[in-house]
Amino acid sequence: MPQVRIVARNFMDMVASLPALKLDKLYENSFICEAILRSLPSLAKKYVLQLLYIDGPVTAKWLEEWVLPDGVSKHKAAVDRLVQLRILTETVERKKEATYLFNSTFQRNLQKHIVHGGVLPRESMPSNITVRLPSLEELDAYAVQQWEFFLLHLINSAEAEKSTNISSSMMKVFQRGLLSQRDDKEPPKLTESGFQFLLMDTNAQLWYIVREYISNCEEVGVDTADLISFLLELSFHVTGKAYNLNTLSDRQRSITKDLADLGLVKLQQGRKESWFIPTKLATNLSISLADSTSRKQGFVVVETNFRMYAYSTSKLHCEILRLFSRIEYQLPNLIVCAINKESLYKAFQNGITADQASIATLHNGKIHLFFFQTCKMQIISFLQQNAHPRVAERTPTVPENVTDQMRLWESDLNRVEMVPAHFYDEFPSKDVFEAACDFAREYGGLLWENPKKMRIVVKAEIFTQMKEFLRKQKQ
Amino acid sequence: MADKQVMKRAKYKSSVKDPGVAGVLKLNIERFVFMPNDPKASTKLNVEFRMITGHKFTKEGSSKQALLNLTQEQGGNYIFEFDSFADRDVCREFVAAAIAFHSEAGKATTENSAALVNSEQLSRAETERRIKLLQENSELQRLHRQFVFGGILTDAEFWATRKKLLDQNDNRRPKQRVALKNEMWTVKPLSDGQSNRVTFNLTPEIIHQIFAEKPAVRQAYLSFVPNKMTEKEFWTKYSRAEYLHSTKNVVAAAAEAAEDEELAVFLKRDDMLANEARRKIRRVDPTVDMEADEGDDYIHLPDHGLFQNETKDVLESQYEPYRRSFSQDLNQHAAVVLQGRLVDVELGDPRSVAEALSRTKQAEVSDEISNRNLEKELSDRISRIAEIEDLQGPRDPAVAPLSIKDPRDYFDSQQANAVKALGDAGSGAKPLKSSVSPREAYGSLTDLVSDIRVMGLSEPIMNPEVALKVLNGLTQSISSTKFHLGKNPRESVLDSLPKVTKEELLHHWTSVQELLKHFWSSYPITTKYLYTKVTRLKDAMSQVYPKLQEIKESVQSDFRHQVSLLVHPMLQALDAAFAHYDADVQKRSAKSGERFNGFG
Amino acid sequence: MTPVSSKLYTDDVSLLMVLIDTNPFFWNSVKSTLAFSTFLSNVLAFLNSILLLNQLNQVVVIATGYNSCDYIFDSSDSQSQTQRVEQMLQKLEEFVDKDESLGREDSVDGPGFSLLSGSLSMALCYIQRVFRSGPLHPQPRILCLHGSPDGPGQYVAVMNSIFSAQRSMVPIDSCVLGAQHSAFLQQASYITGGVYLKPQLLDGLFQYLATVFATDLHSRAFLQLPKPAGVDFRASCFCHKNTIDMGYICSVCLSIFCKHQKKCSTCGSVFGQAQTQDSSTPDRKRKTPLDA
């Protein structure tokens, strides 16, 4: 089975895939409604607002009328998403006109929200009880440090200085798909997904981990809906304020402990009470996921001579840069590296390992399925997103000659074009073979033929026609 | 245009009655060539079009022959008979174009008026440039064909308004030239290790470089060779001097120089260089560069930061002229390299190279002497900088403040219409002229605000029925505007027209602009030349009217209104031109009552 | 698969500058059709919904008063969502008091004018500051919720603001609440590419706001928004108020005249003599008649 790809944005897919009952129950929580709304594509947000006070079904035409030809695909995506999340219910009547009905729970919650404004999930603790609360900067630093430490541990447990509280079984769960280990002797290697994961921005990484966390909990028998609603609720707490742990259920308390290891919350203990302080990572959870990135400051300067200066003290950054460049010097606050062909090839090789291109044999022994996956380079976008503020103002942030060269190097490796195809063999007679050739040629699907051995390769897209044709030939 | 060629079968006749010689007539923009079928016949022709002043031809239809008669400047003419009128017409058109292309110069001289027309013969390069422009720009080509070949404008007139275009094209021309080698020619004596002989390799390239960098050597070469010594002797001596330099033995060099006068020339410090340096220093801007920063400072480094490997011996002053510093050489070399290759002479002959270099240097010097402005500019600049800004009175820009008496006029003039256009139903029922005291008005406003503070927002904000009604209304208006305005709200009217009409309109627009440009630039009419030009233009303009009318009628009724809206400004502009023309003619005729007709 | 979020900042993050008309004389005149409190609750709900859509969205409210204008709300200042409404209303009350204290007239006829030019300029200043804050900033747009009639005396200032908005590519949306259309706002929306709308049903104001004006700039590329059928921008001359197609324009102050004048009546510039026009009697026979 081909590996599950990492797509950073599909947390909402997971929500959407929840059974209808659970989903409806989720929408009773107004925070979830809010978070879901923020995660929608911009057109969908507009539709929600537009239909907020409409009772009863609305014909599809009412939405479609507004769409310009350029926006048809976006419109479709938006409506599909809304239907998927059961915010709109689509009914197609006999007259063939689709109508949409707004989910009333969702609607009511949002209506309440826009009239009363948002409400906080729980009251923060008075400051006379909580002492020595960290400042926002300290909290940010704590969150970043915690997160990076976790990542470092994730990709390279040997490099990490101290062990994390996260149980090794949990770590294994996170590592699943990101690392591959052929046998115990070899150190585990990053897979393509792992490689992509590291180059994603923090929010996307966070969502990936959270998603893995949720699915892991599901395996242990925790109700995912509860977990999701707690996580989303958490994101509506105010950063830097202290909240009493006693207000949480036992399960939530144990989840909070795990989250503290990821840097989402900071746990503190007072004389009697103990409390948790949400960090920026937690509040970012509900940031619009459709196209989300954080506005963090970059640190990388790429020069036209393929040199890279990374102003960073982070060991993790160093590890990430090592993925695709050669580290030349490491100073206390500066990493100097160079991008060259060898370093990039190494990165590409990490990206496409043998596991990813799978060749499966299918159907009645004669038909083979060629299936490959191609790797898409993310290094450039990583460099662009993490550009140092000095160069971030410039366009392009990464010199064009560098990006072009990197693309060229990549395309060097992708000289082969993959086309899903079927391979036909053992034709009963020359006539049948030639007829099949002609047929395939006519449909523009003939890729390769060998008249001597009577073999052809035909594009997968005309598989059904081909099958039909061959059956007729047999008769 | 340039590479266009026409080739037709034709007979060349010396007169109309002559049976003629059968052959092939080849035409291109420069010349026409006639090759008789019989290779032995002597009637080959090869005539340049600029020698041709006119052409005549027979009318089609009658039983006449298809003839084309080209009149030559000096009198004679060339008559060709073609197989068919179609062939003839193709050639005739081409000839007309070619003649038009070449005739401006001739016309200008024959008309002997003070015409603005460029009277100099067009250089070949110029012609090529124009042709290239026409090839690159199809719209320009279309205009050119329409007006120049149509006889409305001469070629020179057409291009006169496009000088900029030509110049622009011109700027691109200078090609990159190869500079001198960036490498310093250091003498690397090739010693064979056995004998005491030291060999130097000199190539023309190196000689060129030596001449460029060392004016004294150049001077010496010009004066010594070949009168005093041969070329070989000269270079041997030079090499000897260089060798002495490379040994860095100043004392030995001085000694040898004392013995040999000619050698001394090479060994002593180059006076010409020194002069030049002094001259350059004079031209240095004496004002302080306020923008210079620490990065520009190299003074604190000994010897400009170069490693000094010369002996630091204290030398007696008599040897001083024989010392040469590395930095001097380096600077001189850098200056020469930066200057680039000044002369384009074959490198083979050292003498011609030396002479050419001397010439350019002299030209430079004389330029500078004549250019007294430079010094003036410098002193101006010094005095300007020298004044202390703080002590100056404020410099008032010579600007009169704009005083607008009543901005309400603008509002009335522009906005009133806009509201009218919306068919404002409300404007009829003006709000009641109720006079309210501010206290009352503000009071009720504050009350309402505090109401909402106490009560919170009204809930629900909106009745679902109302919401539905509003959404319905909006959606309907959207679908109706979509129908009216096409799919894209930003689409221009032009895009909605059929493609042919659109192109035609655009073409007419450019051609009307071209005509008007020439028309207005001909006023005031001071010469007969301008007078005829205006008449020609006016006739051409009057032909535009029916064409525009034609376009209007050709489009479907849905578009007719839009087309007439587009055509309207063109017509107005043409009308204005005609009005001006008529007024001018009247004035002229009134004057001519007093004086004799026209332009003396 | 596209690279993960190649954009540095979400496309639909908006900065919405809302200019609300607080001219008391206007609100007094429309008491019966649209009470100010109804208007406010609609607007507040709308602001809440904008802030709900994306947590990076920013809303700034400027009150356009009769004598003055001022910022009354900035969502980037306030921490808590609950106090949002309270904060803004308090500021609004203070503003109305201040606005009243600045007035001198004893009584005002009709609805009077509000200081649109002032609040437009303030909005643009704020947007400029946001533009200069760095490469990452939300997409700004201006929404005028306006009811008072146009003040002709503000013409130059308003037009200047409109053009500067056009230059910085900030669309001005306008929602006209009064009985009359506003030529200012019509021009403003037309020039800057915003939406001009005069709601027919004022009860459903929120629906108009949510359907039309909540659309962020990114989505506008895919949607058709209401557009007035056509705007007549022909000018009329200053001297006789006739609508003209061709005329004379003062090169200094751009006043328009239908006949040649010796002196500009607006700015006092002295014009030169037109050259031939006076003696001309166009001979129209020369060309083919067109509109016959």
Please write the tens of the pLDDT for every residue from A109-156.
888 888 877 667 777 777 777 667 788 788 888 888 888 888 887 776
How many inter-chain contacts (A to B, CB under 8 Å) are there? 38
Beta strands (DSSP E) in C198-251 are: 248-249
Count helices and strands (H / E) in chain C. Answer: 8, 9
Nearest Cα neighbor of A376 from A405, A414, A330 is A414
The two domains A4-116 and A421-474 share their CATH topology (first three levels equal) = no
Q: What would the DSSP string read from start to end of B3-15?
A: T-EEEEEEEEESS
The tokens describing A310, both together, are 């990374």
**How many residues are listed for chain B in this entry?**
600
Residue position matching structure tokens 């493609």 = B499
CA distance A26 to A20: 10
- Closest CB to A53: pick one of B456, B467, B488: B467
The residues facing A59 across adjacent strands are A99
Which own/partner pairs from B49-53 qualify as long-range (CB within 8 Å, at least 24 positions apart)? B49/B95, B49/B98, B49/B99, B49/B101, B49/B102, B50/B102, B50/B103, B50/B105, B50/B106, B52/B95, B52/B98, B52/B99, B52/B102, B53/B99, B53/B103, B53/B106
Contact residues, chain B, for C109 at CB < 8 Å: 433, 435
The CA distances from residue A403 to A197, A198, A306, B509, in Å, are: 20, 19, 10, 46
Neighbours of chain B (3+ CB pairs under 8 A): A, C
Contact B464 A53 (CB under 8 A): yes
Question: How distant is the alpha carbon of residue A414 from its chain centre?
Answer: 24
- Among A421, A431, A420, which residue's Cα sits nearest to residue A454? A431
Tell me the per-residue pLDDT of C228-243, one tens digit each, with 9 for 90 and over: 656 666 778 888 878 7
pLDDT value at position A369?
Answer: 30
Give the pLDDT confidence score for residue A42 in this predicted structure.
Answer: 85
- Is residue A201 less than 8 Å (CB to CB) from chain C? yes
Helix, strand, or coil (residue A394):
coil
Sign of the dihedral through C-alpha C185, C188, C190, C194: negative
Is residue C161 pLDDT above 90, yes or no?
yes
Interface contacts (A, C; CB < 8 Å):
135
**Three-state SS for C249?**
strand
* Interchain proximity C56–A287, CB inside 8 Å: yes
- B419: burial class by Cβ within 10 Å (0-12, 13-18, 19+)? buried
Sorted by where each starts, the structural domains of chain C and their CATH numbers stand as 12-220 (3.40.50.410), 234-292 (no CATH)
Contact criterion met (CB < 8 Å) for A54 and B468:
yes
Residue C3's pLDDT band, with cuts at 50, 70 and 90, is: very low
Angle of helix B528-542 relative to helix B499-521, nearest 10 degrees?
A: 160
Whether C16 has a pLDDT exceeding 90, the answer reads yes
Measured between alpha carbons, how far is C271 from C260 in angstroms, rounded to an integer? 9
| Partner residue facing C41 (CB), from B418, B430, B452 | B452
> Is the backbone peptide bond immediately before B36 cis, with ω within 30 degrees of 0?
no
What is the rounded end-to-end Cα distance, in angstroms, of chain C?
A: 64
Minimum-distance CB partner of C24 among B414, B442, B580: B442
Chain C residues within 8 A of A52 when measuring between CB atoms: 49, 210
Residue A110 · residue C262 · CB < 8 Å: no
| Residue A51 to residue B471: CA distance in whole angstroms | 9
Alpha-helix residue ranges (DSSP H) falling in C103-249: 116-131, 155-167, 183-192, 205-208, 217-220
pLDDT at C173 > cutoff 70: yes
Weakest mean pLDDT among B249-258, C20-29, C69-78? B249-258
| CA A378 from centre of chain | 13
The C-alpha atoms of residue B420 and residue B281 are separated, in whole angstroms, by: 74
- pLDDT 10s digits, A325-383: 888 988 888 999 998 888 888 777 765 433 333 333 333 333 333 333 333 356 777 78
Classify domain A4-116 at the CATH class level. mainly alpha
Question: For position B275, what pLDDT does the model report?
Answer: 75
Confidence of residue A450 (pLDDT cuts 50, 70, 90): confident
Are the CB atoms for C174 and C146 separated by under 8 Å?
A: yes
Q: Residue A447 — very low, low, confident or very high, per pLDDT cuts 50/70/90?
A: confident
Between B545 and A220, name the one with better pLDDT.
B545
Instruction: Give me C45's structure tokens.
Output: 């709900």
- Does B487 contact chain A (CB < 8 Å)? yes
Please count the CA atoms within 13 angstroms of the CA of B259 that sit on its side-chain side: 7
The H-assigned helical ranges of B371-523 are 373-386, 408-421, 438-455, 464-485, 493-496, 499-521
Q: What are phi and psi of B493, to 5 degrees?
A: -60, -35
Identify the pLDDT of residue C19.
95
In this model, does residue A443 exceed pLDDT 80? yes
| Mutation target vs A (from B475, B479, B487; most A CBs, 10 A cutoff) | B475
DSSP C2: P
Looking at the domain A421-474, which fold is it?
Alpha-Beta Plaits (3.30.70)
Q: Does C87 touch chain A (CB under 8 A)?
A: no
Query: Which of C79, C218, C222 comes nearest A70 by C-beta?
Result: C222
**pLDDT recorded at residue A239:** 78
Verify whether the Cβ–Cβ distance C3 to A378 is below 8 Å: yes
Residues of A in contact with B456 (CB under 8 A): 115-116
Find the residue in C nearest to A8 (Cα). Answer: C4
10-residue stretch averages of pLDDT, chain B, 600 residues long: 70 76 80 78 74 73 70 74 80 77 50 38 72 78 79 78 68 56 58 62 76 80 79 80 73 73 71 73 62 51 46 53 67 74 64 78 70 69 63 67 78 69 48 69 87 80 85 84 52 68 83 86 82 86 84 77 80 86 85 54
Query: For residue C71, is pLDDT > 90?
Result: yes
Give dist(CA B213, CA C157) in Å, integer. 66
**Interface membership of B490 toward A (CB under 8 Å):** no
List residues bridging with C172 in a β-sheet: C142
What is the C-alpha separation between B252 and B486, in angstroms, rounded? 95
CA distance C206 to chain A (A): 9
Chain A: touching chains (3 or more CB pairs < 8 Å): B, C
Q: C-alpha dihedral over B237, B238, B239, B244, to 10 degrees?
A: 90
pLDDT at B195 (0 to 100): 58
Asked if the C-beta of C84 comes within 8 angstroms of chain A's C-beta atoms, the answer is: yes
Contact B413 C22 (CB under 8 A): no
pLDDT at A375: 37
Where do the domains of chain A lie?
4-116, 136-289, 300-352+374-413, 421-474
Select from B571, B565, B563 the least CA-distant residue to B505.
Answer: B563
Given CB atoms, is B464 within the 8 Å cutoff of chain A?
yes
Cα atoms in the Cβ-side hemisphere of radius 13 Å centred on A133: 21
Nearest residue in chain A measured CA to CA from C226:
A66
Chain centroid to CA B522: how far?
A: 24
Q: What is the mean pLDDT of residues A12-27?
A: 79
Q: Residue C20, CB half-sphere, CA atoms under 13 Å: how many?
A: 26
Sign of CA dihedral B337, B340, B343, B349: positive
Say whether B453 and C89 touch across the interface (CB within 8 A).
yes
pLDDT of C21 reads 92
Length of chain C: 292
Whether residue A455 is predicted with pLDDT greater than 80 in this model: the reply is yes
Is cis: bond before B460, omega within 30 of 0?
Answer: yes
Calculate the CA A407 to chain-centre distance: 23
d(CA C174, CA C142): 8
Q: What is the mean pLDDT of residues C269-282?
A: 57
Are the Cβ atoms of B411 and C150 closer than 8 angstroms? yes
Name the amino acid, one letter, at B264: A
- C208 φ, ψ (degrees, to nearest 5): -60, -45
Question: Which amino acid, residue B141?
Answer: Q
SS3 B435: strand
Sign of CA dihedral B179, B183, B185, B189: negative
Distance CA A456, CA B279 (A): 84
pLDDT at C143: 95
- Specify the DSSP class assigned to residue C243: B
- pLDDT tens per residue, range A235-248: 777 777 888 888 88
Bridge-based pairing state of the strands C108-109 and B198-199: unpaired
Average pLDDT rounded to a whole number, residues C151-177: 91
Query: Is 90 exceeded by the pLDDT of residue C17?
Result: yes
Whether this prediction's pTM lies above 0.80 is answered by no
Q: A42 vs C12: CB contact, 8 Å cut-off?
A: yes
The pLDDT, as a whole number, for residue C46 is 92
Residue A56 contacts B, CB cutoff 8 Å = yes
Residue C204 scores a pLDDT above 80: yes
DSSP-derived secondary structure for A428-458 = SSHHHHHHHHHHHHHTT-EEEEETTTTEEEE
Range A96-117 average pLDDT: 85
Backbone phi, then psi, for B32, in 5-degree steps?
A: -120, 150
Nearest CA in chain C to B586: C280
Mean of pLDDT values over A296-301: 78
